Chain A
Amino acid sequence: MRSLILFLIRYNAFVLFLLLEVLSVYLIVQNNSFHETGFIKAANNISGFVYSRYDDMRSYINLKSENERLINENSYLRSLLPEAFYDNSYQIVSISDSNKKQIYTYIPARVINISTNKFNNYVTINKGSLQGIRPRMAVISPDGIVGIVKQVTPHFSSVITLLHQDLEISGRIGMEGFVGSIYWDGKDSRYVKLKEIPKQIVIKNGDKVTTSGGSIFFPENLVIGTVSSFSNETPDNFYDITIRLSTNFSTLQNVYVVNYLLQSEQQSLTPPDEK
């Protein structure tokens, strides 16, 4: 015991160093799971506060282009309203929609901080659990998809973007609707990769890649991006496809959080190893 204390006093700096490194590793491991710990929540609260103040200042600069984007989206959505259609049926059958059930609701939010240049990138948005956001909800933008909510605090949420090594989502391509996995290779924030598409199907540059049905996160048929280049000079039977993302992460401002009302029900049937 005496010699242990003597050792600790003699090498106090080294012992402190080891202790703090172990603590850091513990934090890294904690942060890599969907579980929330008090410390991570506190950290998100502090950073959310500072970033939202900063965003208040900064948002004026992009006001004009952002408005245009929203106007475009609004006009598109208006075109989908029932009032936009001329009813040319002879007989009006009214159905009280008991055979249709709403399964997606959308919560609008603003991006207050975003990173695109790391290996694992996140977005912080200004809505949190008070607005009904929970971890594992999908986040989409007017142009495409963004990512999945990781942590929530009462007023803020942090979102894992597509530009994160741990996030793989399925994407559908071509006439036949082949489904492959989309992942980011860590290089350019405008492009992602699509794998597991067999070489026998025909694809060409400009082909649309959309979300596949059956995801526990994203609604079906959202545009992810277009094929920007592909090669079949791979050792295996699959293409090497590069996708140009339709979401521009460097100017991202307004997003929607997708609340999939049947998520937990669907998840209860999914094998536990699929996140």
Chain B
Amino acid sequence: MIADIVLQAFRFVIILLLQILVLNNITLPGVFNAYIYIYFIMTLPLSISHSALILVSFLCGLSVDVFSNSLGIHAFTCTFIGFLRPYIITLLKPSGGYNPEDKPRLYSLGFRWFVMYSIIVVFIMHFMLFLIETLSINQILLVLTKTLSSSLLAVIIIILIEYFFYKRKS
């Protein structure tokens, strides 16, 4: 249990650093603004309780906020994603249901499942994030195009990470 928490914390620091030091610097102005740190929330174990998931998501968003001068925006979005995640996972339930040893990972539930899962989570997250950031309805077209391009980039990066770093475990 303790080892699990330490491992997750370590994973979180790595993903956070990747986000703020590398990905936040990949810019094609007005087009790409990909947030892949949501990968951390996506891949938390299925057995985690709903409250714990929401709390961890909030803290995760808050840490990103600290580094983006956007206090509250990421925290709000992540809390929402944390709240929504069990419902998304239920929505994607394979025909036989989930086994107790299943993980929300590519090697465990398969390529198709993981791609669908990433697309849903990443798209909702980016859309919410950009909408809160602009807080105006007349920018909606820009928000939508930015959501589409950034989500696409984020999904590709997340799947690549999942594929190359966790392939051997399959």
Contact = CB atoms under 8 A, between A and B. Distances in A.
Interface of A: 12-14, 16-17, 20-21, 23-31, 39-40, 43, 46-47, 50-51, 54, 115-120, 122, 124, 158, 165, 186-190, 250
Contact of B29 (A14, A46, A124, A187): A187
B110 interface: no
16 contacts: A13-B49, A17-B80, A17-B82, A17-B83, A20-B55, A25-B72, A27-B75, A28-B72, A29-B72, A39-B71, A43-B65, A47-B69, A117-B33, A122-B69, A124-B69, A186-B30
B70 A188 contact: no
Contact of A119 (B21, B50, B67, B134): B134
A158 B51 CA distance: 34
A156 to B, nearest CB: 11
A20 B58 contact: yes
Contacts of B55: 16, 20
Give the one of A29, A46, A51, A115 with max B CB within 10 A. Answer: A115
Contact of A31 (B72, B79, B136): B72
B159 interface: no
Contacts of B20: 50
Give the one of A26, A27, A30, A118 with max B CB within 10 A. Answer: A118
Nearest to A165: B134
By size class, the interface of chain B is 35 or more
A244 to B, nearest CB: 13
Given A119-B134, A186-B142, A27 B72 contact: yes
A234 B125 CA distance: 36
B75 A24 contact: yes
Interface of B: 20-21, 24, 27-33, 49-51, 54-55, 58, 61, 65-73, 75-76, 79-80, 82-83, 130, 132-134, 136, 139, 142
A54 to B, nearest CB: 6
B76 A119 contact: no
B33 A28 contact: no
Nearest to A120: B133
Given A21-B79, A28-B132, A50-B67, A116 B27 contact: yes
B73 A28 contact: yes
Contact of B71 (A20, A40, A189): A40
A117 B58 CA distance: 24
Contacts of B80: 17, 21
Contacts of A24: 58, 61, 72-73, 75-76, 79
Given A117-B27, A124-B69, A188-B29, A17 B79 contact: yes
Contacts of A158: 69
A116 B28 CA distance: 9
B15 to A, nearest CB: 15
The 3 lowest CB-CB distance pairs between A and B, nearest first, are A27-B72, A28-B72, A24-B76
A190 B29 contact: yes
Contacts of B21: 54
Nearest to B26: A117
A116 B76 contact: no
Given A17-B83, A24-B75, A120-B70, 19 more contacts: A13-B83, A16-B55, A20-B54, A24-B58, A25-B76, A27-B72, A29-B72, A31-B69, A31-B71, A43-B65, A47-B66, A115-B24, A117-B28, A186-B142, A187-B29, A188-B29, A189-B27, A250-B27, A250-B29
Contact of A118 (B49, B83, B133): B133
A190 B28 CA distance: 11
Give the one of B29, B32, B69, B76 with max A CB within 10 A. Answer: B69
B76 A118 contact: no
Nearest to B75: A24
Give the one of A14, A21, A29, A122 with max B CB within 10 A. Answer: A21
